[in-house]
């Protein structure tokens, strides 16, 4: 009796959880791997526990186990998951369905993918509440509208009548939070709910989630790889790595006094000291008054943009999604011929259209993309991928080519053993390194890096940035570095262009751009970057001068 | 409805008309390439050159090909398909009863086959890779693999000869009352259903399984929905376009591809009519039937396209 009394405030109690999956490596026999090794955690009613770690740490897997769910053939093979006093792993399919969507709800990373495109938002929001009989349709809709209001969605009365594609990503993420709250659950699993959003949108969604958690007294498992984010919403933080517990403690303790080396590495990951280089006498690439549009001139996405890039230096282009950053890259590479304006390279104008450029011009401008895995042919080996530009631009063959491939692999700090591997056999960071090697193989003057670290874990991204800086000092290559992440910009840029709705609103050397006084937009961008500090969120929201474009 | 949808639909219909016109040119040209001409065919090998020349004059065969094509097309647009050489009957009249019969048989088969195929597809997805799935797929594939005449004769043997429930010969005419007509087509419609079932069922299954990989299916699962409700409510609406496509292809087959079944059951439909007149080298009839079959194919495919457009919420509800 005493025991049950002591546990009366306890909502979730996971004991010695073990989760396994069967993998099918190419050319080998299937084998069972363990994703989560005997992890235990407890969560009190109304509290928020942050689960943090890199990809593959088992965060989502553990989070979903609280709904007795294994994603993609993952099996819970050991331990107990005690929710509201009973082991849900023994509940059977019917018992599990009864708790999903009623006692525990889930908020996914990509709300855009998690909403059914064929149904109105309101139908999806009230579905679980009606299914479990916690509300009639009318009650549930009333509750939904109240939640839309609480999450500060525009037009809360009518937004439910829209379809998912008619609502922006940040709004959709809030609608998904409303959907989770609508059946008044005891626990919500937030699985990286702001990772896919712009910083300026992330801060709004984060604040909305935090308010909603406070007002509804719902408990939450908050899964993310961003410590600064989790520090804003969690009471406690659990650090995971390779499916094992690293450290578990109060939020303040984890970010201020981490006891484990790995936690310390996560806390301090953002800082790279990069000495700003002064612009040289003449830029080798100049973008002059470029205007570009999609849809035959209808949608102007670049308006009168001018920037310069100096040899061996980095120009960072920052802004939210839709600000025209990637379009600038497309205009420079000729993928989207500008309507007006010119791009000059080494003192001569570049042909507007990609098809009109000679091979030599193509060689000088290379690109690296955000999604390294889709930028490589999955059926080619690393050696073939890196060797291709050597053959194409320099006509290298046979042993000469292989030697150069080996050198390039060495430069990206990957050994010869990788030559015969396929992209699928590489980690995310390794894939990006191969893409870097492929672009370097052409010996370009400029590499355009389009959000190259956005899809990577912080520690891996850190490694990639360091590599890029090293390569720059060795090869004297210049970067046009497109990103929405200001921490990255500080680490790598020599000059910065801030873009907003197709225009460059602030441009200059790094020190100049990042020194006050700021224009309203740069201020918004800078103040939206989460800082590893308790109470930062409230302060940042209070101090804002303008709304983000995502609203 | 909003303007982008209307525009897309209008575009499809216009494209269909252009396609039909192109097909009519092909059909006309095709029959021109054949050796001998209509006059020769009517009068036979032993005709005198004078008689041939007279008939050619009479039939307008001395006009240039494009003029004859225009005349032919003009006639068709006014419901005049010409007369059959073998019987001298008006083609339009003969076709209209037969087309009605064919459409009736196709409709009967479709009313059973389409819902059955889709429901079986849904059930197969629900129990995917399990016993029920394999049983459904196995039976459907087996019924498709047997040739139509085999299924037809088995049906006749069992239901017409052995049990004597249904007639083995499905001859109907204009005066046949509806219920009798229905009874007459039970066996051919069953044979057709068995033939088209598997294709539609397998495509439904594949299309829905494809959708089942989506993140929103996981969302539905995590709301606690029952597996079949997930498939019905969340997967199926997103699989409509490919399903409608394959359904329309099979409907087209039910109308234009039923020759064998019609012959087995002696059912007076288009297929039988076409086969008869191909054997008699009756070019105008073959042209007319070919054009009607092409029109059916094109129309049904346009319907499939339009259904896919309308089923897409992004087009139905633009930003």
Q: Which residue of A has its CA nearest to B314?
A: A165
- Distance linking the first and last C-alpha atoms of chain A: 52
**Residues B97, B70 within the same domain:** no
Give the separation between CA A73 and CA A59, rounded to whole angstroms: 16
- For A438-450, what is each residue's pLDDT tens digit? 999 999 999 999 8
Say yes or no to pLDDT of A148 above 50.
Answer: yes
**Residues B97, B142 within the same domain:** yes
Backbone φ/ψ region at A479: left (φ over 0), alpha (ψ -120 to 50), beta: beta
Nearest to A117 among B222, B313, B319 (CB): B313
Show residues of chain B in contact with A131, CB under 8 Å: 223-225
Q: Is B84 inside any structural domain? A: no
Tell me, yes or no, if B162 comes closer than 8 A to chain A by beta carbon: no
Provide, rounded to the nearest whole percent, the portion of chain A with pLDDT above 90.
Answer: 33
Residue at a domain's end among B77, B111, B128: B77
**Residues B106, B222 within the same domain:** yes
| pLDDT score, position A5 | 41
Between CA A370 and CA A372, with CA A371 as vertex, the angle to 5 degrees is: 105
B227 and B126 Cβ atoms separated by less than 8 Å: yes
Residue at a domain's end among B30, B49, B77: B77
Average pLDDT over residues A408-433: 85
Maximum alpha-carbon separation in chain A: 85
**Residues B215, B304 within the same domain:** yes
Domains of chain A: 92-234+521-551 (3.40.50.300), 312-322+354-515 (3.40.50.300)
Average pLDDT over residues A174-178: 91
Q: Which of A47-51, A192-196, B133-137 is the least confident region?
A: A192-196
Say yes or no to pLDDT of A550 above 50.
Answer: no
Tell me which residue range forms the domain holding B129: 91-316
Average pLDDT over residues A176-184: 92
Q: Is B83 inside any structural domain? A: no
| pLDDT score, position A270 | 59
Most confident region among A15-19, A292-296, A345-349 by mean pLDDT: A15-19
Contact A117 B221 (CB under 8 A): no
Q: How many CB pairs under 8 A join A and B?
A: 72
| pLDDT score, position A13 | 93
**Residues B60, B102 within the same domain:** no
Average pLDDT over residues A6-15: 78
**Residues B226, B295 within the same domain:** yes
**Residues B64, B190 within the same domain:** no
* Burial profile A363-372: b = 16 or more Cβ within 10 angstroms, e = fewer: bbbbbbbbbb
Average pLDDT over residues A392-413: 89
Provide, rounded to the nearest whole percent, the portion of chain A with pLDDT above 70.
Answer: 96
Q: Is B167 inside any structural domain? A: yes
Give the separation between CA B39 and CA B61, rounded to whole angstroms: 8
DSSP A240-292: EETTEEEEEEEHHHHHHS--SHHHHHHHTTT----PPPPP-SS-SEEEEEEEE
Between CA A551 and CA B7, with CA B5 as vertex, the angle to 5 degrees is: 120
**Residues B175, B26 within the same domain:** no
Tell me, yes or no, if A117 comes closer than 8 A to chain B by beta carbon: yes
As for how many domains chain B has, the answer is: 2
| pLDDT score, position A269 | 59
Q: Is B129 inside any structural domain? A: yes
Strand A365-368 relative to strand A314-318: parallel, antiparallel, unpaired? unpaired
Residue at a domain's end among B77, B102, B127: B77
Tell me, yes or no, if B222 comes closer than 8 A to chain A by beta carbon: yes
Structure pTM?
Answer: 0.80
**Residues B24, B151 within the same domain:** no
**Residues B33, B111 within the same domain:** no
**Residues B151, B240 within the same domain:** yes
Contact A100 B317 (CB under 8 A): no
Contact A116 B237 (CB under 8 A): yes
Give the separation between CA B76 and CA B21, rounded to whole angstroms: 12
| pLDDT score, position A2 | 39
**Residues B33, B101 within the same domain:** no
| pLDDT score, position A1 | 39
Provide the CATH number for the domain around residue B127: 1.10.3720.10
Q: Is B85 inside any structural domain? A: no
pLDDT in tens for each of the 319 residues of chain B? 456 788 888 998 999 999 999 999 998 888 777 766 667 767 777 778 888 888 777 777 777 888 888 888 888 888 888 888 777 788 888 888 889 999 999 999 999 999 999 999 999 999 988 999 999 989 988 888 888 889 989 999 999 888 888 888 888 887 888 888 888 899 999 999 998 998 899 999 999 999 998 899 999 999 999 999 999 999 999 999 899 999 999 999 998 878 888 888 888 888 888 888 888 778 888 888 889 999 999 999 999 988 888 888 888 887 7
Q: Which residue of B has its CA nearest to A185?
A: B223
| pLDDT score, position B47 | 76
Show residues of chain B in contact with A128, CB under 8 Å: 223-224
Give the separation between CA A149 and CA A165, rounded to whole angstroms: 20
Which helix (DSSP H) or strand (DSSP E) does residue A543 occupy? none
Q: Is B178 inside any structural domain? A: yes
ipTM above 0.90, yes or no: no
């Amino acid at each position: 009796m005493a025991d049950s009394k002591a546990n009366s405030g306890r909502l979730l109690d996971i004991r010695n959880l073990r989760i396994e999956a069967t993998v099918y490596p190419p050319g080998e026999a299937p084998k069972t791997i363990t994703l989560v090794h005997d992890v235990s955690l407890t969560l009190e009613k109304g509290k928020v526990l942050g689960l943090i770690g890199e990809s593959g740490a088992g965060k989502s897997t553990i989070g979903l186990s609280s709904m007795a769910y294994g994603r993609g053939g993952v099996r819970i093979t050991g331990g107990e998951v005690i929710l509201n006093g009973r082991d849900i792993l023994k509940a059977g399919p019917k018992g599990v369905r009864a708790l999903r969507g009623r006692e525990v709800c889930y908020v996914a990373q990509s709300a855009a993918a998690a909403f059914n495109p064929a149904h109105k938002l309101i139908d999806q929001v009230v579905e679980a509440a009606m299914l479990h009989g916690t509300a009639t349709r009318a009650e549930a809709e009333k509750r939904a509208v109240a939640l839309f209001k609480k999450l500060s969605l525009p037009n809360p009365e009518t937004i439910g009548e829209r379809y998912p594609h008619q609502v922006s990503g940040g709004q959709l993420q809030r609608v998904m939070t409303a959907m989770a709250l609508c059946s008044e659950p005891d626990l919500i699993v937030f699985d990286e709910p702001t990772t896919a959003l712009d910083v300026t949108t992330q801060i709004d969604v984060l604040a909305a989630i935090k308010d909603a958690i406070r007002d509804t007294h719902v408990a939450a498992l908050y899964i993310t790889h961003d410590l600064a984010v989790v520090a804003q919403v969690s009471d406690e933080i659990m650090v995971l790595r390779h499916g094992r517990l690293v450290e578990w403690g109060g939020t303040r303790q984890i970010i201020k006094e981490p006891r484990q080396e790995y936690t310390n590495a996560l806390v301090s990951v953002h800082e790279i000291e990069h000495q700003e280089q002064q612009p040289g006498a003449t830029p080798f690439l100049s973008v002059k008054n470029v205007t570009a549009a999609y849809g035959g001139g209808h949608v102007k996405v670049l308006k009168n943009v001018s920037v310069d890039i100096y040899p061996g230096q980095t120009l960072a282009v920052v802004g939210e999604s839709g600000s025209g950053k990637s379009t600038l890259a497309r205009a420079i590479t000729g993928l989207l011929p500008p309507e007006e304006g010119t791009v000059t390279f080494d003192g001569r104008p570049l042909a507007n259209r990609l098809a009109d450029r000679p091979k030599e011009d193509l060689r000088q401008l290379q690109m690296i993309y955000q999604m390294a895995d889709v930028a490589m042919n999955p059926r080619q080996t690393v050696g073939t991928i890196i060797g291709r530009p050597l053959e194409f631009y320099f006509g290298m063959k046979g042993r000469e080519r292989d030697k150069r491939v080996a050198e390039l692999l060495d430069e990206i700090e990957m050994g010869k053993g990788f030559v015969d591997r396929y992209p699928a056999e590489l980690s995310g960071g390794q894939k990006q390194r191969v893409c870097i090697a492929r672009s370097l193989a052409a010996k370009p003057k400029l590499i355009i890096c389009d959000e190259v670290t956005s899809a990577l874990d912080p520690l891996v991204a850190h490694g990639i940035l360091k590599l890029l800086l090293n390569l720059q000092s060795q090869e004297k290559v210049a970067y046009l570095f497109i990103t929405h992440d200001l921490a990255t910009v500080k680490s790598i840029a020599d000059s910065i262009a801030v873009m907003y709705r197709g225009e460059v609103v602030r441009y200059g050397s790094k020190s100049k751009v990042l020194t006050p006084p700021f224009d309203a937009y740069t201020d918004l961008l800078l103040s939206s970057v989460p800082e590893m500090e308790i109470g930062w969120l409230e302060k940042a929201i209070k101090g804002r001068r303008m709304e983000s474009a995502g609203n | 409805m909003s303007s982008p949808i209307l525009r897309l639909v209008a575009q499809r219909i216009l494209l269909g008309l252009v396609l039909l016109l192109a097909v009519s040119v092909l059909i006309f040209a095709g029959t021109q390439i054949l050796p001998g001409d209509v006059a020769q065919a009517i009068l036979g090998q032993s005709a005198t050159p004078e008689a041939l020349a007279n008939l050619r004059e009479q039939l307008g065969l001395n006009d240039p090909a494009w003029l004859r094509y225009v005349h032919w097309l003009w006639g068709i647009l006014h419901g005049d398909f010409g007369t059959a050489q073998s019987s001298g009957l008006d083609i339009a009249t003969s076709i209209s009863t037969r087309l009605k019969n064919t459409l009736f048989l196709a409709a009967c088969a479709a009313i059973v086959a389409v819902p059955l195929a889709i429901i079986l597809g849904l059930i197969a997805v629900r129990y995917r890779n399990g016993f029920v799935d394999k049983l459904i797929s196995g039976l459907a594939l087996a019924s498709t693999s047997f040739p139509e005449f085999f299924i037809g004769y088995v049906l006749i043997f069992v239901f017409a000869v052995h049990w004597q429930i249904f007639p083995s010969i499905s001859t109907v005419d204009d005066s046949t009352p509806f219920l009798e007509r229905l009874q007459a087509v039970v066996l051919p419609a069953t044979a057709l259903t068995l033939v088209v079932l598997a294709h539609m069922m397998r495509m439904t299954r594949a299309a829905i399984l494809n959708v089942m990989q989506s993140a929103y299916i996981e969302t539905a699962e995590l709301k606690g929905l029952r597996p079949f409700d997930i498939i019905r409510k969340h997967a199926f609406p997103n699989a409509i376009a490919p399903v409608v496509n394959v359904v329309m292809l099979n409907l087209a087959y039910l109308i234009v591809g039923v020759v064998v079944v019609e012959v087995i059951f002696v059912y007076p439909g288009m297929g039988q009519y076409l086969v008869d007149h191909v054997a008699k080298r009756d070019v105008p009839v073959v042209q007319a039937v070919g054009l009607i079959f092409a029109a059916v194919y094109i129309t049904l495919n346009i319907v499939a396209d339009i259904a896919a457009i309308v089923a897409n919420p992004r087009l139905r509800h633009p930003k």
